[in-house]
Structure 1
């Protein structure tokens, strides 16, 4: 059961600000300010106005941690506080951490390479100029370790890195650890802070990001007929997961249950997708079966919705294949239209959006969806949030390497509708 949520996302710090942005249909995409992007094809991103000191981190923590690790720790602290869980009263060996990340400490590594190479001038870099904790930037496992240290969790501690499904897969793995008895409480989520020159160059090379630089607030257009690539983002979302009866005994507020989860790989292409969506449909079908949920019981689908032409076609086909006629009746939306695509973190951020949709009975919109695409002909909740009785949500992810993940989230039943 999810009993605590922490979110650091573009447009606001904390769960309240995050939900305000989504429910109002505002976009947090803008021209890149972290560095001079003039040399790049795509010059827009969804940045967070994040001050680590103001968010409660100490100077030594800021010096030691890459930005993505900082986001994860701050989100984890919010999740613990939100849950009301007194972790120091639990056995530390029964509290675990699972953090997802696609690209690890990209910003830290990029910045430090510029320093030790004197801006790229030196072929043989001078390590004497590197920060003392450079090794922590190299190994993504440092993210999970930092979160564990922050809360004194001494149980299973893992980083899951499966590209853009990392945020879903990390939470799925945490649930499995609780079910098998390896932990009583899991602190699980994901974090990525990839808005750096090296990341922009990588996506520029394959033309995956949008070149709509003159209208940054409208650049992320999932399922729109004029879409032409995603907007890179950053962020973190972390959850407190507990076994149901334990959560009830302590009177915890239960946001939702992770009732079904599955992941598949298409074994097809590093970045390409089959248009029929069969792999994602397979993951959805397995997740529904594990949850004991019929397709017609899904109240809302939180789509991957990256805004690339092939992804949105692939995903639409997958929904039709897995949900049948119900695919045409259930509302579907992509929050990437508002907060961009934060790679490995976005799956967890989308879980947070899904849970908050159930809490508020409101489906967040797909912003910037003005021009219907005949190939994407489902109900994508354009422009404006929709009040909608929501108790069961399907959220999905798709990642480079062929990863396809699906999760079913179920709220506390509110009776018949």
Structure 2
């Protein structure tokens, strides 16, 4: 376990259902999905034209703006007025606007505007957020794809747990943009029928979704000293690598299982004490099969009785933000005593013989939950959240 217990005292979220936790509760926790035809950009030449996006009438949103809004909410709910000493760690791919400008100018034979291009870099997104809120240092961007935000949260917990920082702001964002959408579409990774069906037979792929979440993470002692009420405790965390394939998961889920086992050891938790797993659950044939094997390896016979769901079936895959968005969902699940369902589930897959929550939300007395994420390159993350 960490030398110093780590708690979350503030949180802000933005999802395809809208800004704030209330739209998320009314969507994910009732089994509603946010998928619709994309109008944010032209999809006339793509195979799939569906994603989970929140349109606010202002066009393609910027990650820095959404992260700043989430961070401001997190600081407010944590009761922190002076954030000048807080390090900030954020998962991000960088913003789309200047990337587009760079390629448009290059193709047209013009010299790209270096200053405009710099605004899109992942590190600059973090700097923009930090400057807007008067945050401290270090200011670090995590860019390792679908575990980026989880990685940011893990490193924040490490800083706090080892006493190198008392309080850290962390999280991540991804907003559906034409560049990444086009790449996933060309790779034929998007669900060909516009439906995400994690762990179900006949699943055809994932769909992308807007997501951002930011947390205030601090030591339990620091929270007590200033009278802050913890929202959840982060009792265990771990990262691992498959060293198997650049995009395919290890077929036995070895790396994901290793991360989950390490996180549970840190939490001092027996597998049978986990009440719910928020799975990576992308809805791709290879991922869901490998993740099932990982869960069976970690939980043994308990895996058949352990509620598992993939909330990507409703929010879409938020890529760099997935770990933070799903940690927020786990936090809400603990608070509300509700296991969110897996939407879109049709016929069970014999290769995914888990207790997939697919018949609507379940009310359960949740005490400890596990959130899992994986990324291209074989990177895996595991977070154990508990009631404080």
TM category (shorter chain) comes to over 0.9
**How many Å apart are 1:52 and its aligned residue?**
6.8
| Distance across 2 between alignment mates of 1:109 and 1:373 | 43
Match of residue 188, structure 1, among 161, 165, 170: 170
User: Secondary structure at 1:109's aligned position in 2?
Assistant: helix
SS at match of 2:255: helix
Aligned to 2:110: 125
**Alignment correspondent of 1:371:** 347
SS of structure 2 residue aligned to 1:253: coil
Q: Secondary structure at the match of 1:264?
A: strand
The yes-or-no answer on 1:134 pairing with 2:140 is no
SS of residue matched to 2:168: strand
Q: CA deviation at 1:328?
A: 1.0
SS in 2 for 1:220: coil
TM-score (norm 2): 0.94
Normalised by the length of structure 1, the TM-score is 0.88
Q: C-alpha separation between the residues in 2 aligned to 1:315 and 1:278?
A: 9
- Residue 131 and residue 46 in structure 1: after superposition, are their counterparts in 2 closer, same or farther (change >3 A)? farther
Q: Using a 3 Å threshold, how does the CA distance of structure 1 residues 113 and 383 change in structure 2: closer, same or farther?
A: farther
User: CA shift at 1:15, angstroms?
Assistant: 1.4
- Which residue of the partner structure matches residue 153 of structure 1? 135
Deviations 1:36-95 (A, max 9, x none): 101111211111124679xxxxxxxx9xxx71122111111111112122225xxx33x1
Residues 1:116 and 2:92 are matched in the alignment: no
2:20 alignment partner in structure 1: 14
Separation in structure 1 between the aligned mates of residue 191 and residue 360 of structure 2, nearest angstrom: 23
Q: CA deviation at 1:132?
A: 5.0
Contact 1:160 1:169 in 2 (8 A): yes
Cα deviation digits, residues 252-294 of structure 1 (max 9, x gap): 2211111111111111111112221111111111110011011
Question: SS of 1:87's equivalent?
Answer: coil
Equivalences for 1:345-356 in 2 at 5 Å? 345-356=321-332
Matches of 1:391 and 1:283, distance apart in 2: 20
Q: Is contact 1:5-1:15 (8 Å) kept?
A: no
Number of paired residues? 382
- Aligned pairs for 1:386-405 (under 5 A) are 386-405=362-381
**Stretch moving more, 108-117 or 2-11:** 108-117
Correspondence 1:204 to 2:185? yes
Q: Gapped runs of 5+ residues in structure 1?
A: 54-61, 214-218, 413-417
In the alignment, the residues of structure 2 paired with residue 77 and residue 131 of structure 1 have an alpha-carbon distance, to the nearest angstrom, of 29
CA deviation string 1:212-240 (max 9, x = no partner):
14xxxxx1211111210100112200001
Conserved? CA contact 2:118–2:124, under 8 Å: no
